[in-house]
């Protein structure tokens, strides 16, 4: 009994609660932190995952929005939380790109988090105002080459997939265009419709309704293959930039030092949740491609993406602000 008591005391000293290492998880409400305001794609994905997990495990998973500082405030709150599985983070690729663009980011991507699962991705789509003379991205690139420095892309936030895709197209096409930062997708779309920027690369869920209604013109999608929702829209690779591919991806993280057994358990449940009929009906119609990876697979994916993003930032000569 004395030996068992010493083991339990040691575990508690490490910050590992008993429910976290047993089969009782979850025995209370689990918070899923979204480091952005409600209404965006990250928030929508998180709410589907939370609902699916609640139904699967018979315990509440609630979404808590903690916006600010391009997602770093909410992300840091998770990094500093107790590693017991009751505080999780749903984030996009901005978690790993923020250190490339911002000084004094309060977390280290690889040291302060436990990757749990790659939830999946959505395509990005290049759009213009319907009155644009170009009918596809290839023609838009030709216009940009003929008028260096005259065209402008808008992007939704610093270091977002939108921003990186625009920088990558600028690099690959060797064109001189302005890349204008905005605070949020809505602000870019307003200026695109008003003719203040020439093009926008955005995650499909927020731009697809505008494409469908004819308010914006689709130029290309950033996936390696054409997508079922827009079969007549070419890929960026088909538009003269072979091999080009970039998506907006989403994942779940816990704080560092999450016990491996618990991390594997949560990861498996997340994979099941993101492939559920609920997720398919709520996200599939927006072009979401579910993944549901293991922690090890997600960690490897993050490493590859970080390397790709770092090269884009270096080539664009962008310095942390």
- Assigned token pair, 292: 């549901």
- How far, in Å, CA of 129 to CA of 124, rounded? 17
Domain that holds residue 89: 28-121+248-315
Residues 159, 141 within the same domain: yes
Residues 147, 226 within the same domain: yes
- Give the domain CATH number at 308: 3.40.190.150
pLDDT at 138 (0 to 100) = 96
pLDDT at 130 (0 to 100) = 92
Residues 191, 281 within the same domain: no
Query: pTM for the complete prediction?
Result: 0.84
In a domain, 19, yes or no: no
Residues 128, 192 within the same domain: yes
pLDDT digits (tens, 9 = 90+) for 149-190: 999 999 888 888 889 999 999 999 999 999 998 877 888 999
Residues 101, 206 within the same domain: no
Residues 75, 210 within the same domain: no
Low-confidence ranges of the chain (pLDDT < 50): 1-5, 7-9, 11-12, 14-22
In a domain, 162, yes or no: yes
Domain count, the chain: 2
* Residues 6 or more apart whose Cβ sits within 8 Å of residue 81: 87, 255
Q: What is the dihedral sign for C-alpha 93, 96, 100, 105?
A: positive
- Give the domain CATH number at 140: 3.40.190.10
* Residues 6 or more apart whose Cβ sits within 8 Å of residue 232: none
In a domain, 21, yes or no: no
- How far, in Å, CA of 132 to CA of 101, rounded? 31
pLDDT at 6 (0 to 100) = 52
Q: Which residue has the tokens 């047993």?
A: 22
In a domain, 293, yes or no: yes
In a domain, 12, yes or no: no
Q: Strands (DSSP E) along the chain, which ranges?
A: 30-34, 61-65, 87-92, 113-128, 152-155, 178-181, 199-203, 217-221, 247-255, 289-290
Residues 144, 44 within the same domain: no
pLDDT at 19 (0 to 100) = 43
- How far, in Å, CA of 145 to CA of 148, rounded? 6
The DSSP symbol for 235 reads B
pLDDT at 274 (0 to 100) = 96
In a domain, 208, yes or no: yes
């Amino acid at each position: 009994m004395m030996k068992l008591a010493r083991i339990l005391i040691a575990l508690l000293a490490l910050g590992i609660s008993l429910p976290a290492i047993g089969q009782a998880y979850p025995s209370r409400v689990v918070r899923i932190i979204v480091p952005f305001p409600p209404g965006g794609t990250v928030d929508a994905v998180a709410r589907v995952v939370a609902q699916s997990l609640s139904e699967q495990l018979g315990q509440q998973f609630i979404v808590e929005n903690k916006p600010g500082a391009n997602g770093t405030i909410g992300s840091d709150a998770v990094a500093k939380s107790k590693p017991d599985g009751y505080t999780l983070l749903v984030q996009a690729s901005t978690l790993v790109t923020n250190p490339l663009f911002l000084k004094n980011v309060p977390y280290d991507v690889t040291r302060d988090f436990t990757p749990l699962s790659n939830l999946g991705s959505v395509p990005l789509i290049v759009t213009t105002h319907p009155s644009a003379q170009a009918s596809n991205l290839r023609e838009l690139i030709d216009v940009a080459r003929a008028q260096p420095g005259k065209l402008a892309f808008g992007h939704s936030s610093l270091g977002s997939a939108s921003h990186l895709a625009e920088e990558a197209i600028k690099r690959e096409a060797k064109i001189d265009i302005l890349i204008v930062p905005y605070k949020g997708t809505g602000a870019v779309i307003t200026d695109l419709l008003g003719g203040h920027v020439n093009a926008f690369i955005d995650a499909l869920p927020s731009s697809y309704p505008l494409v469908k209604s004819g308010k914006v013109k689709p130029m290309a999608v950033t996936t390696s293959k054409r997508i079922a929702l827009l079969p007549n829209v070419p890929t960026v690779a088909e538009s003269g930039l072979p091999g080009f591919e970039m998506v907006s991806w989403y994942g779940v993280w816990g704080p560092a030092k999450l016990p491996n057994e618990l991390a594997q358990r949560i990861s498996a449940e997340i994979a099941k949740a993101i492939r559920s009929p609920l997720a398919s009906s709520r996200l599939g119609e927006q072009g979401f491609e579910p993944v549901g990876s293991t922690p090890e697979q997600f960690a490897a994916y993050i490493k590859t993406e970080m390397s790709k993003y770092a090269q884009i930032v270096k080539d664009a000569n962008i310095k942390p602000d």
